[in-house]
A and B are shown apart, each in its own frame.
Chain A
Amino acid sequence: MAFLKRSPWILHYDASSCNGCDIEVLACLTPLYDVERFGIINTGNPKHADVLLITGGVNEQNRPVVKNLYEQMPEPKVVIAVGACAATGGIFRECYNIVGGIDKVIPVDVYVPGCAARPEQIIDGVVKALSILEERRERMTGEAQVQEEARHDAAEAGESR
C-alpha cells in the first residue's frame, strides 16, 4: 500500500442488489478486514467521497439517484462496481425492471466479480481503484500547472508591451 498517499473516503450505495454484496462492503469496514487502518472511511456524504462503491443492477427508479450521487462527487473520483449484477445485471439480467449494470448509467473504472463478492476481492478492487485515482489526481494537478503557467506567460507578455 505504499502508493496510498492520502486516506480515500468511500461512498457506498445499493443500486438494486440483493444486499449480499452490501453487507460484504460493510464487513470490509469492521474488525476482521478493517480497512480503516489504511485511513479508508465510509462516509454518508457524496461531497466528501473519493470512491463510489456501488452494487446491483440499477432499476429504473434508482437510475436518477445513481447519476445524482455520481455528479455530486468532486473530481477526481473513481467508481467501483461490486458484484456480478453490478457488472452485467447478473442473475437479474432478464428482469423487466433492471437496466443491467452500473456502466449503463455512469462510467465504471473497476469491476469486482463474485456473487456475493468476498471482502478480500472488494479490498483488492479498492486498491486497484486507488492507483487510478492517484493517476487522475496527478493529471488534474498537471493540467492546473499548465493553465497557471499559460496565465503567467500571458500576464508577462502584457507587461512587456
Chain B
Amino acid sequence: MPKRIVVPFGPQHPVLPEPIHLDLVLEDEKVVDVIPSIGYIHRGLEQLVQKREYPEYVYVAERICGICSFMHALCYCQGIEHIMEIEVPDRARYLRTIWSELSRLHSHLLWLGLFADSMGFENLFMRAWQLRESVLDISEDTSGGRIIQSTCKVGGVRRDIEQGKLEEIHRVMDTFEEKCRGLGNVFLNDETVKYRLQGLGVISKDEAYTLGSAGPTLRGSGVAIDHRETGYAAYGDLGFKPVVETAGDCYARCAVRVRELYSSIDLIRRAIEEMPEGGIDVKVKGAPNGEYFSRVEQPRGEVVHYLLGDGTKHLVRARIRTPTLANVPALVKMLPGAQLADVPVVVLSIDPCISCTER
C-alpha cells in the first residue's frame, strides 16, 4: 500500500477568492479522503436580528453574501411579508424577478470565469468577466449599485424602473444573448474543456439527492428540483422549466449553469414584456408575530431563511441555511479518486460561496 500524505488546501489559495480549508489525504497523486474545515468567515449574522429592527435587517441580509445579495434580501423580505400577511404589488413582484435574474446572470458569469481560471484557461476567464460587466452596468443603471443593489424592502421594492429603461434592457439582452452563446459554445464544445471536465468529480443521482445537495450540483446529476418552479415573485406567471443534465460530472454542472444563462435572459425578456402597471410598494405597519420558512432559488441552489417573530420590532431568531453548506457533503463525496491537480476544478464545480455558508 502506498504511503498516505496529507496536503493542506487553503484557507489562502490562488484559485479560491474566499477562505475554506480542506485537508486532502493523498496516496501518491490520488485523493483518497477529504476533511473540510470551515469558519473563516463566520461573523454571527443570525444573532444580529436581536440588535437590528426587522426592516433594518434587510441591509444585513444583503451582506450575507456579496454575489447573491439581492436574493438573500428577497428571501428575508418574502418571509417577513408572509408572517405579516402583506400583499406585494404586482409590479414589485416583476421587478424583483428582473433583479433576481440579473443577479443570477452575473453570478453564473463570475463562476464560469473562475472555473475557467481553475482549469488554467485564462483567456476564457477574462472573456467571461468582460461579459459580466454588461450585466453590472444594467444593475448600476437601475439600482445605483454594482454588487449590492439595496432595492428590496419589506412590502415591495425601493426603486422603479421606468418604461424607457426597461425597453433599453430588452434591447441590450439581444446582443448580450449572442455573446453569451458564443461564450457558452466554448464551455460546451471546446475539446480541451471537455477533456478536462468530462468524467471528473462524478456524483450519482441518488447520492446527490440523499446528501441533500442543491442547485446546479443537484440538477447536474439529473434531479429536476428548482425552487423557482413553486412560483414565488413573478415566476408563477412567467412559467418556468428547470435546466437538467444527467451525467453528474463537472461538465454537466458547467452545462447546467451555461444553459441557465439562456433561461435567465429569457425570463428577463418576458418579465419586461408582461410588466404590469401600478405601485411598487405598500405601507408596512406593526411587527411580525409568527414563524416561517422562506425559500428562494439562488444561483447556487436553494436558500432557506427561518424567521421567528414575537410581535416586537426585533425578531427572536433567524436561521439561514445556504446552498453551499448543503453542497459541501457532495463535494466530500466527489473528490476521492481525483488527481491532486484536478482538486481546484472539482472544488470550484460546486460554486462554493463561503461567505454565504458561514454567515
Contacts and interface: CB of A to CB of B under 8 A. Distances in A.
Given A22-B66, A23-B67, A116-B148, A14 B48 contact: no
Kindly name the residue among B12, B48, B59, B126 whose own CB sees the greatest number of chain A CB atoms within 10 A: B12
A131 B117 CA distance: 31
A102 interface: no
B340 interface: no
Contacts of A30: 113, 125-126, 129-130, 133
Interface string B18-59: 110000000000000000000111111101100100000001
B128 to A, nearest CB: 9
A65 B63 contact: no
Contacts of A97: 42-44
B64 interface: yes
B12 A16 contact: no
A92 B129 contact: no
Interface string A42-60: 0111100000000011010
Nearest to A42: B14
Q: By DSSP majority rule, is chain B's interface helix, strand, loop, or mixed?
A: loop
Contacts of B48: 94-95
Interface residues of B, number: 40
Contacts, number: 118
Contacts of B125: 30
A32 B133 contact: yes
B13 A20 contact: no
Contact of B66 (A12, A45, A62, A116): A116
Given A20-B63, A57-B43, A14 B17 contact: yes
B129 A27 contact: yes
A65 B146 CA distance: 29
B228 to A, nearest CB: 24
A98 B43 CA distance: 6
Contacts of B40: 16, 59, 61-62, 65
Given A27-B129, A92-B45, A116-B146, A21 B113 contact: no
Contacts of A20: 63, 66-67, 69, 147-148
A43 B15 CA distance: 10
A20 B18 CA distance: 11
Given A13-B19, A24-B147, A116-B146, A18 B64 contact: yes
Nearest to A30: B129
Given A24-B146, A115-B148, A69 B12 contact: yes
A96 B42 CA distance: 10
A56 B18 CA distance: 11
B110 interface: yes
B245 to A, nearest CB: 26
Kindly name the residue among A14, A26, A98 whose own CB sees the greatest number of chain B CB atoms within 10 A: A14
15 contacts: A14-B18, A14-B354, A19-B67, A22-B66, A23-B110, A23-B147, A30-B129, A30-B133, A31-B129, A62-B19, A65-B12, A91-B60, A96-B44, A97-B44, A118-B146
Interface of A: 12-14, 16-24, 26-27, 30-32, 43-46, 56-57, 59, 61-62, 65, 69, 91-92, 94-98, 115-116, 118
